[in-house]
Amino acid sequence: MSILFDDGSSEYLTVNAAAVSGFPFTVAAWVQPDVVNINQAIWWSGKIGLTYNYFRLLLTGTAKLNWYSMQFGNDHGCSTTNTISANVWSHCCAIEGYNGDNVSRRVILNGDWTNRGENTDASQPGGGDVIHTRIGTIYTGTFYFSGMIAEVAVWNIALVQAEVEALAARASPLSVRPDKLKVYLPMISVTALQSIVGNYTWSAINTPASATHIGLAAPQSGMSMIWTPSAGVSAVPAMMRYYRNRRSA
């Protein structure tokens, strides 16, 4: 399963937690939009109530993938030169701090490194300014996504070209730099909204629905998995939770 969002019904997922707290980091997701002529957010993380402090991964009205960071009116973004198609699964990836700094950023659609977008302007939000995360919209309740989203993942490292290409070839996020994977939400269904890495429990707003999943290669056997248990939550290894969720989907 994946999660199907209806932009006309203002549907999205939300969690009061920071998915990222510094640089560098990578955000990735699979999406299948049913329209490509509107601005629609895939992932947003920032500070609610502080208009100009956030990161945003978005499909533009010209069908390009856009990555955008904003700090107090200093906006820095980049877009791919290739475009996305409606009703087809596509892989979306953004990298902040690609060069190990807090200024370089890249955005890649379907693992196409040649047609990536790049930007090297300084001044981005971070640390305590990134304390809320949404999937399918931004903080203002606009740019609602129209279609399906699945396999949202965040790493606290800048993935390299080969790793991004592997994800776009349907490798599981659990197979790509698992030691640096901080958030992994497969989005198997609307009843399974606890990330199996990171241990965040997401809330579904305005009843998005379960839908067909993208279908990824199974994580490699023998991998060393990590997880982040919290008080009152069983520390179940990520690999075990992955297969348990697939059986119950």
pLDDT exceeds cutoff 50 at 237: no
75, 69 contact by CB (below 8 A):
yes
Number of Cβ within 10 Å of residue 33's Cβ equals 25
* Cα separation, 184 vs 155, whole angstroms: 9
Under the banding of pLDDT at 50, 70 and 90, the label for residue 249 is very low
Per-residue pLDDT of 171-190, as tens digits, reads 999 999 999 999 999 998 99
pLDDT exceeds cutoff 50 at 43: yes
C-alpha distances (whole Å) from 51 to each of 44, 54, 60 are 12, 8, 20
* Cα separation, 148 vs 146, whole angstroms: 7
Per-residue pLDDT of 4-22, as tens digits, reads 999 999 999 999 887 776 7
- pLDDT score for 154: 95
Q: Go through the chain and tell me how many residues it has.
A: 249
Using the 8-state DSSP alphabet, how is residue 232 labeled?
Answer: T
Is the pLDDT higher at 97 or at 224? 97
Q: CB-based contacts of 114: which residues, under 8 Å, 6+ apart?
A: none
pLDDT exceeds cutoff 60 at 45: yes
pLDDT exceeds cutoff 50 at 41: yes
Task: Tell me the mean pLDDT in the region 194-212.
Answer: 93
Dmax of the chain from CA atoms? 47
Q: Does the 2-248 domain belong in CATH 2.60.120.200?
A: yes
Task: Tell me the mean pLDDT in the region 58-64.
Answer: 97
* Cα separation, 98 vs 209, whole angstroms: 35
Under the banding of pLDDT at 50, 70 and 90, the label for residue 46 is confident
* Cα separation, 68 vs 119, whole angstroms: 10
- pLDDT score for 123: 55
Name the token pair of 123.
Answer: 């001044």
Q: Strands, DSSP E only, in the chain?
A: 2-5, 12-15, 25-33, 40-46, 53-59, 64-71, 74-83, 90-96, 105-109, 117-119, 132-135, 147-155, 181-185, 203-205, 209-211
